[in-house]
Amino acid sequence: MAEGFLRHLAGDRFDVASAGTDPVGLNPGAVEAMKEVGVDIARQESKKVDRFLGQRFDYVITVCDRAKEACPTFPWAQSLLHWSFDDPAAAEGRAEERRAVFRRVRDEIAQRIRRFMARERKANKDPAQ
């Protein structure tokens, strides 16, 4: 969801990639939650983080505590950020309760990305944004 929001909100300002420590494909709950707010992530790929080892990044952002612990180090990244979100795929309960967790986490991610982008614009003094 974070990749989808950053692509949607930032356009081409960032070259966005996402990966997991144990990717298992897109979760239909995430696809549905994002579609509700007009962001189509259905074509995103689930990639293993090892695919990006050795590449340089301005930011590497982990979005769940399990990923932070299992993620390899990225010494070639300028900034390592950790944003702790619940894993909505681990939600339990009835279908509507699980959907509510996806929606809550989706909204938390969107808010965090908007704050990140605002700080980034301010730091780079980007008057066009």
For the chain (length 129 residues), average pLDDT per consecutive 10?
A: 92 85 87 98 89 86 70 75 91 97 97 93 66
For residues 46 and 20, is the Cβ–Cβ distance under 8 A? Answer: yes
Nearest Cα to Cα of residue 61 among 39, 52, 35:
52
Count CB atoms within 10 A of the CB of residue 33. 25
Helix axes 95-124, 28-36, angle to 10 degrees: 60
Q: How far apart are CA 21 and CA 102, in angstroms?
A: 20
Backbone angles phi, psi at 82, to 5 degrees: -125, 125
| Token digits of residue 80 | 């390592």
Count CB atoms within 10 A of the CB of residue 61. 19
The reply to whether CATH 3.10.450.50 applies to domain 2-124 is no
The pLDDT value recorded for residue 90 is 92
The pLDDT value recorded for residue 127 is 46
Helix (H) or strand (E) holding 114: helix 95-124
Beta 77-82 vs 57-62: how paired, if at all?
parallel
pTM value is 0.85
Q: How far apart are CA 48 and CA 17, in angstroms?
A: 11
